[in-house]
Structure 1
């Protein structure tokens, strides 16, 4: 195990700061801060000297409740190792983290299959932490609904399969949830829309449980870590900042900077380290959307969302949209205008001519209140796709701003707000709990601005390595399950590259060139004073034979929800990666103990 914990702690009455000002250094990537910064942000201090803050915690230590959990879970791990006939004393119990990558519903189902097989092979109780990105967090959210799910996984698995292959949530329930998100808090973004129009489609439920209520330190399951990235930090190429953000049952915050707030307070308004305005705690549906909004920078997600918005509008009858004020124009005119506007966006994204929709929209707006502004189709150059997209985006913003004047129509108000979020591309907006702190223990860029935007970690690295590379978690073995598209080694290679820039302990990663297109099912990377990393690509030459491409195409990340048959087949394929390598996993556990 590593040395004693180190910390910098802010209390309500005072802030401890470093005597040395740490400059920001340029970097060529979206990365972070250098090893010098990481070392300078730490100050040796025993756990007994740390005073817990009621608002913001600046510390390179674990939350006290997580420490309590780790102490108890180590007993479970010790017993599991005894059952596996792996020699180990109680003070040698290894810290093992299981990582689930992103990959939409493919990741959700494949992680479930992997965990079920770990359970069957008596390996699940060896896991201390379970950390996920994107689709893997959808699986985690389903599992942790059940207290002590890891002790009864066969039963829990059957319930999850039944739900995932069952009927969709009704449109009425979805509309009600959308209204709750819109009117229930200060910030409404595309993350709320994605939760109701996309996540529900795949998870087939509205999970309103709160993460902080779902867990206590006596739980018999691995400790869950949900991960996202700070969008502003990710986009900083000229300064060193920390984009890695984790959300656990106890606290949420920046993994490497060591800046945290209680999970129940994440989203509340803060100033100078003190909470000044409450916001409702996010529910598990929203958390799954926050973690699982990958592709949030691409055309595919635009198409997907506009298609869902259009479907939502076409399936919502005019009679469902109430007109509270008889003096306002008919609600059906606003509704028709929004339908035409959504379909225009889809036409442009699909390289189709939107002229007929433009004419319908002009007529509707003229009948509504004489509004004359139309989409300048006569000036549109189909060959310049970016210019066309810019035009329709601006047109959408103008029409939405015009229709938002009808605030007495609640449904129209929500819809125009969604349209404006689409034009501004706002995801995961929350109050910044580090706002105005002026604390040298945290990168200055994180303390700027009243709000921060958070999005899917898959947009930076599609596996949650940096949540378990926190020094204070003392991880000895990482088992990385990779369910992502494209290069099956991208996540581990990128983690090694980023760790090197940060001077974090991580083994060298060298992949034989012939394995890139034909990966095997088990890789081990080791380094001096670094955690051992086991990397397992989902589809490989062992469990798929010569049909890797067939399986990748069969289980694409963006497609209709899987049937029960497809879910069971994918779980079996994922499970083979565990059953085929049971003895190899045991060997690596034994090696880290030795």
Structure 2
């Protein structure tokens, strides 16, 4: 692999291979039938080849079936190719029984050698499947592909088809031309050919298909009858018996050739003619492949540094200006917590502003309910330089107002109209979008037209911190969040999946992509739809609920974990390079377990979005790329066929379902964050999120200070915790502010005791079961709201010195890090 910075994309030499797979035989197969021997067949699925699923014939009533059938695939040398071989027991009248699936890395097959593998399906019964593989290079197929070390984008071409409409008398009945290109973005086109539409001899219609040039596919064209009944039109494809369609292998056509004539056998009369041509597509991608920050964020950071430097010099009373890399990066991290998190973040930002520290902050990361605050604030391009007391008064009106109106008939009609329009605009609407519209009604006056990309205006001059919003990509069903989740980051500039190093412009979120290109532009969704996605408290499945309430994830393993094991033999281990994945055997569970698993892991209320990774492939060495390994944290990361690039849609949910915090965007090494001011709005477990983050980062090898708490510290919560790793200057200093009521009970301001009449104002219940700030409460009394604001502002002001100390330490570390080796040595000698 090219030795180049992992933050960039680059070109890599690639070839195409011809793969031959011969299914030889199996032995000692035990089917599910008690009274008879199994009726076995084998299915082959290689999703990276664009081929349909292939299958052998069925060998009836035989425990030792002998097939000796050969299949061919065209594959790409730089792509991770995993062949799935599944064995089934055919049943008449009922669904076939799935016995086994073997996942085999084709990187184990050397070029120009026949390799015979005996896959052990069951050691106890000596069940085996014997398969022969052969791999040859396709001559003159070498090309350069674009990759970032994790994803690969092969060359794209466009198939242009021109259809000349026939004379009226050639079609006595309505006829349709069905065009299909497997593995293309468009998949199929249908062109109506009927007497009314075909009165002009030389009129033409065109159809275009976009697909990967090097992976070998074909175009199929067929004529079908079209029937109408009671204003319903349908096509009868069953009339196609193979005599009235034609298939063209597209790998045989060169993009440099002129139009090629193709004849489609007609249902009646003469064959229908059309012309096809391949056109090369521009190399420029609309998906940014790379782990570095985007250019707009880099420009923002340059502008923001000047303001941060001046503010730090003032608040820390420094004698000299901070320049360049001497300027520390300070970030705010906010957890979720519904309306409680939204209100508290307003209050905390107001307190930071009053302390003169808001212009020291470069990033504000939020998740779940706290995203409702930042997404509203950034409607004002100059919000951090206006007094935030006005914003707090505004949110107070919404939090304290009666919410019954969101269920009025007028609002329900409005929701329906908006969802219908969103569908027309290309969104995949769901309950998540309805929840977003309900939030809009609760938190705004009237319709909110703003969009996430509009927030760029608040960053043009570096005048505000850069907002980072966090969500998670999960599987819609069959897999819990614990077993599969991928961090998805939203900024006013880009939306990206951290693990894959792939991002799109925020303006293009919700549009359809293929092979890194923007294929179908849809309007960017309004901010309320994103608020519903980021803060959707209704997308939990039962396993997620169990984990969040108990923090135990082993109870359900028997029911929801797949039975998978490594079946590599020694000769494969010797032959396999370190980059190749293990050969794995999947044994499906029984019907009861499958039904129970579906109940536990299905997400009845969530939404799916267009997958902007669609059409990209995983690099053959993807799981060795350092950036990918930093963020991979599930078993599925070793199963490329089940990862996001091969998924049709994204399933984005509230990030709080795993860890109720928004740390991940701030821990990207490219952002170089030195100090994180962590605001935790959890009621009962205010230290849980930071402990979970520490454990997660330790496992993943991400720099994060050690969080070690005694049992007593977990019982009695302080207003502020400082977590710092003196031995690792690359770890950020974390100042963690839980939502607690400690000295506020006696002090109304730092150092100012309450009078006897004011003692009741200090009784703010943020821990009890009957706290007015529970998660699903969206309406507070004015008194409860005001007391919550005063509590959070007091806690921050009471620990101002801890914040200043952390900023001092960050400045010293930055200065020490930027000293030349000679100066460092001199300074060390002075200390000695």
Whether the TM-score (by the shorter chain) exceeds 0.5 is yes
Q: Distance in 2 between matches of 1:525 and 1:236?
A: 34
Structure 2 match to 1:536: 737
Deviation at residue 58 of structure 1 after TM alignment: 1.4
Deviation per residue, 1:208-253 (Å, 9 max, x gap)? 2111123233251110011110122998679996611111001101
Deviation per residue, 1:314-334 (Å, 9 max, x gap)? xxxxxxxxxxxxxxxxxxxxx
Structure 1 match to 2:791: 573
Decide whether the 8 Å contact of 1:269 with 1:278 is kept in 2.
yes
Decide whether the 8 Å contact of 1:256 with 1:470 is kept in 2.
no
Q: Could you say if the C-alpha distance between residues 225 and 120 of structure 1 is closer, same or farther in structure 2, counting changes exceeding 3 Å?
A: same
Decide whether the 8 Å contact of 1:539 with 1:552 is kept in 2.
no
Does 1:141 find its partner at 2:375? yes
Structure 2 match to 1:262: 505
Q: Give me the CA root mean square deviation.
A: 3.7
Structure 1 match to 2:365: 131
Structure 1 match to 2:700: 502
Structure 1 match to 2:473: 230
Structure 2 match to 1:433: 612
Deviation at residue 200 of structure 1 after TM alignment: 3.1
Q: Could you say if the C-alpha distance between residues 535 and 427 of structure 1 is closer, same or farther in structure 2, counting changes exceeding 3 Å?
A: same
Counterpart selection for 1:99 from 311, 328, 333 = 333
Q: Could you say if the C-alpha distance between residues 486 and 257 of structure 1 is closer, same or farther in structure 2, counting changes exceeding 3 Å?
A: farther
Counterpart selection for 2:782 from 544, 551, 564 = 564
Q: Could you say if the C-alpha distance between residues 574 and 503 of structure 1 is closer, same or farther in structure 2, counting changes exceeding 3 Å?
A: same
Deviation at residue 175 of structure 1 after TM alignment: 2.7
Deviation at residue 507 of structure 1 after TM alignment: 1.1
Deviation per residue, 1:41-94 (Å, 9 max, x gap)? 59xxxxxxxx99551111111111111111111111111112213436223111
Counterpart selection for 1:181 from 404, 414, 419 = 419
SS in 2 for 1:246: strand
Deviation per residue, 1:429-477 (Å, 9 max, x gap)? 1011001201425764120211111010000111111011111111111
Structure 1 match to 2:492: 249
Of the structure 1 ranges 107-116 and 230-239, higher mean CA displacement relative to structure 2 is found in 230-239
Decide whether the 8 Å contact of 1:234 with 1:243 is kept in 2.
no
SS in 2 for 1:214: helix
Decide whether the 8 Å contact of 2:346 with 2:391 is kept in 1.
no
Q: After the TM superposition, which residues 321-360 of structure 1 pair with which residues of structure 2 at under 5 Å, given as runs? A: none
Counterpart selection for 2:306 from 40, 53, 75 = 75
Query: Which structure 2 residue ranges, 5 or more long, are not aligned?
Result: 16-75, 83-147, 152-281, 546-591, 623-627, 629-636, 747-762, 813-832
Q: Distance in 1 between matches of 2:309 and 2:785?
A: 33
Q: Distance in 2 between matches of 1:234 and 1:60?
A: 29
Counterpart selection for 2:801 from 580, 583, 590 = 583
SS in 2 for 1:128: strand
Counterpart selection for 2:393 from 152, 158, 178 = 158
Q: Could you say if the C-alpha distance between residues 495 and 579 of structure 1 is closer, same or farther in structure 2, counting changes exceeding 3 Å?
A: same
Does 1:66 find its partner at 2:297? yes
SS in 1 for 2:464: coil
Deviation per residue, 1:292-314 (Å, 9 max, x gap)? 01252168x99xxxxxxxxxxxx
Higher helix share: 1
Does 1:8 find its partner at 2:8? yes
Decide whether the 8 Å contact of 2:541 with 2:603 is kept in 1.
no
Decide whether the 8 Å contact of 2:7 with 2:291 is kept in 1.
yes
Q: Distance in 2 between matches of 1:52 and 1:252?
A: 21
Q: Could you say if the C-alpha distance between residues 94 and 552 of structure 1 is closer, same or farther in structure 2, counting changes exceeding 3 Å?
A: farther
> Number of paired residues?
451
Decide whether the 8 Å contact of 1:131 with 1:464 is kept in 2.
yes
TM-score (structure 1 length as normaliser): 0.68
Decide whether the 8 Å contact of 2:366 with 2:374 is kept in 1.
yes
Deviation at residue 40 of structure 1 after TM alignment: 7.0
Q: Distance in 2 between matches of 1:512 and 1:500?
A: 19
Deviation per residue, 1:278-304 (Å, 9 max, x gap)? 2221111111111001252168x99xx
SS in 2 for 1:554: coil
Deviation at residue 193 of structure 1 after TM alignment: 1.8
Q: Distance in 2 between matches of 1:238 and 1:158?
A: 37
Does 1:282 find its partner at 2:525? yes
Higher strand share: 2
Decide whether the 8 Å contact of 2:705 with 2:732 is kept in 1.
yes
SS in 1 for 2:469: strand
SS in 1 for 2:744: coil
Decide whether the 8 Å contact of 2:331 with 2:666 is kept in 1.
yes
SS in 2 for 1:228: strand
SS in 2 for 1:516: helix
Does 1:55 find its partner at 2:286? yes
SS in 2 for 1:118: helix
Q: Could you say if the C-alpha distance between residues 133 and 471 of structure 1 is closer, same or farther in structure 2, counting changes exceeding 3 Å?
A: same
Deviation at residue 146 of structure 1 after TM alignment: 1.4
Of the structure 1 ranges 279-288 and 117-126, higher mean CA displacement relative to structure 2 is found in 279-288
Q: Distance in 2 between matches of 1:240 and 1:231?
A: 9
Q: Could you say if the C-alpha distance between residues 553 and 468 of structure 1 is closer, same or farther in structure 2, counting changes exceeding 3 Å?
A: same
Counterpart selection for 1:449 from 628, 644, 647 = 647
Q: Distance in 2 between matches of 1:218 and 1:113?
A: 25
Structure 2 match to 1:523: 721
Q: Distance in 2 between matches of 1:77 and 1:188?
A: 41
Decide whether the 8 Å contact of 2:427 with 2:510 is kept in 1.
no
Q: Distance in 1 between matches of 2:482 and 2:766?
A: 41
Q: Distance in 2 between matches of 1:127 and 1:569?
A: 26
Q: Could you say if the C-alpha distance between residues 96 and 52 of structure 1 is closer, same or farther in structure 2, counting changes exceeding 3 Å?
A: farther
Q: After the TM superposition, which residues 468-479 of structure 1 pair with which residues of structure 2 at under 5 Å, given as runs? A: 468-479=666-677
Structure 1 match to 2:448: 207
TM-score (structure 2 length as normaliser): 0.50
Q: Could you say if the C-alpha distance between residues 236 and 501 of structure 1 is closer, same or farther in structure 2, counting changes exceeding 3 Å?
A: farther
Structure 1 match to 2:555: none
Structure 2 match to 1:512: 710
Q: Distance in 1 between matches of 2:723 and 2:770?
A: 25
Decide whether the 8 Å contact of 1:95 with 1:474 is kept in 2.
yes
SS in 2 for 1:535: strand
Comparing both chains, which one has the higher relative contact order based on Cα–Cα distances under 8 Å and sequence gaps of 6 or more?
1
Q: Distance in 2 between matches of 1:567 and 1:142?
A: 19
Deviation at residue 524 of structure 1 after TM alignment: 1.0
Deviation at residue 19 of structure 1 after TM alignment: 6.8
